[in-house]
Each structure stands twice: as C-alpha cells, then as structure tokens.
Amino acid sequence: MPWFNSSIAAIIPYFPKWMVKPFAKPYVAGIADDEALQIVQQLNKKGYAVTLDILGEYVNSQEEAENIRNAYSGLIQKIAAGGLNSTISVKLTHLGLALDPQLGENNILTLARDGRDNDVGITIDMENSPFTSLTFDIYKKALAIHHRMGTVIQAYLYRSLEDIKALDSPFLNLRICKGIYKEPPEIAIQDRRTINDNFVEMARSLLNGSGYACLATHDLTLIDRLEALIEAEHIPSDRFEFQVLYGVPMGNRLEELKAKGYTVRVYVPFGEAWFEYSVRRLKENPQIISYVMGNWFKK
C-alpha cells in the first residue's frame, strides 16, 4: 500500500481541484473565516490552543497585500469577539515584503496594533534565507508595539543559535522549526540528525534564556529528546509549548503531552490557496490517501 499512496501523491498535483478536495480536508480548515473559526472552537473544546494561517505567500500588487492585511485584521477581531484561544500566523511576503519591504513592514505593524488592541497574539512566519535578517528586524519593531508578537527560527540554519542569543528578552516568543526551504550547504545543515541536534541545542539556549519557546515538530524521537531536556532542566510548563500542523497524524502523543500539563498549539491553515498547500502535505504524508479512500468504501 505505501507504494500506491506514494504513486498517487506524485500525480495528485495534476488532478482537478474537485478531486483533491477530499484528500485536502484533513489538512485545511476550509476556505472562509467562519469555517476555520469552527475548527478553532472544536480544537479549543478538546484542550488545544490554535494559531490560524491564511494560506498564501507572494503577492503581485499593493492592493492584494492590503487585502490580505485586511483579512487578517478581520480575523483578529473575530477571534477576540469569540473569546477563542487562538493567535494568527502571517508570512511577510503575503503582506507585500518581496514587492516592497516598506509595504510589508507597514502592513505587519498595522496588524501589530490590531493585535494589541484586541489582545490577540501574532506570529511572523519565517520564509527562505533572503528574508531572515529582515524578518527579525521587522519583528523587533512589531514587538515594540505589541508584546504578544512572536516569530520563527529554523534549526537547519547555522546562524540560528547566535540569533537566539541576540533576540533574547522577556517578551521573546520564538517558534523553533526544522525549516522547509531548500537552502545551500554554505548556510544550512543538510544532515537530518544534525538538524535535530541543533534543534535541541536551540531549545536549550532559548529555555535557559528569558523567552518563551514554541517547539514545532512532528518528529516523535525529537519530541522525546525535548521532553527529556525539559525534565532534566526542570523547565516550568509556562515557558514553552509544543506546536503541530493541523491534520498530521501523531497517534496519541498530543493527548500525552496535554496530560502532562503542556500546552499544545495546532497550526490551522485555511483559505483560497488550499490546493498548493494540500499537495505539499500529501507528498509528505501519503498514507492519508489510503485513509480517505478507505472511508469512501465504508459509506
């Protein structure tokens, strides 16, 4: 069956969208705000925190960037009005950073003010290496407006340990992830085990500093190592959380983490760009294909 799943995953980008939608459903919380907010309510009832992401990256015009900013602004207000345990996650290129750095900065600073006024946290997602330093610079400006701003750091970049030390502050909220962009060996670790080792050392540095650590991984072995670090160094549970993508199979591990009193936050994407995102997730987890098809035949 694995070969069948992988074969389907390889050709699924060429399927019409209506055929892909059933496979996408486990990974994407619909297209509209209201669909996504229903998922947030369901996850909150199960004891999970959430961060919401409007899918998409680069934009082609100032108008498009401002539309995305306005969509996020509306989402912030709905989260606050509903009393939901959710933050938002934003890519700066989605707000126009690649089109015009000042445009991207202005848009995220506007959202920082909206987040402050509605007491909703905002994480600035990290993108590929040309944007790393600029993202950290903009994050610092946004943090001066809203203390519930966070950003992301990638364990495969050699620079990341030093970045953690430079960013350290009592208001630092930093999501550590492995990194998904293809980066050259001059700047990025290529070996998976070494990336995991660096992830643990970055977590150690962050937890021994002043900030708050968001440990974003589905790697169960890595989670074991992070738990061992937390226990060995007696890190209080209000200094960190675990983060996972919506729909990625984790067995009972998330329930086990919650049972220990740890916060688990689910990254929930939604929006018009669901197709491209779903294709990536299906390639990473082809087993979802047989799961969905099995459910079809049970009906």
What string of H, E and C letters represents the secondary structure of 81-128?
HCCCCEEEEEEHHHHCCCCCHHHHHHHHHHHHHHHHHHCCCEEEECCC
Within 8 A by CB and 6+ apart from 165, the residues are: 205, 209
Residue of 33, 53, 163, 175 marked catalytic = 175
Check if the beta carbon of residue 198 is closer than 8 Å to that of residue 187: no
* CB-CB contact of 153 with 163 (8 Å): yes
The one catalytic residue among 125, 163, 265, 281: 125
Between vectors from CA 186 to CA 181 and to CA 192, what angle results, nearest 5°?
A: 55
Residue 125 bears catalytic tag? yes
Contact 139, 124 (CB under 8 A): yes
Pairing of strands 86-91, 49-54: parallel
Contact residues for 67 (Cβ-Cβ < 8 A; gap 6+): none
What is the 8-class DSSP label of residue 214? E
Residue 197 bears catalytic tag:
no
Q: Which residues are known to be catalytic?
A: 125, 175
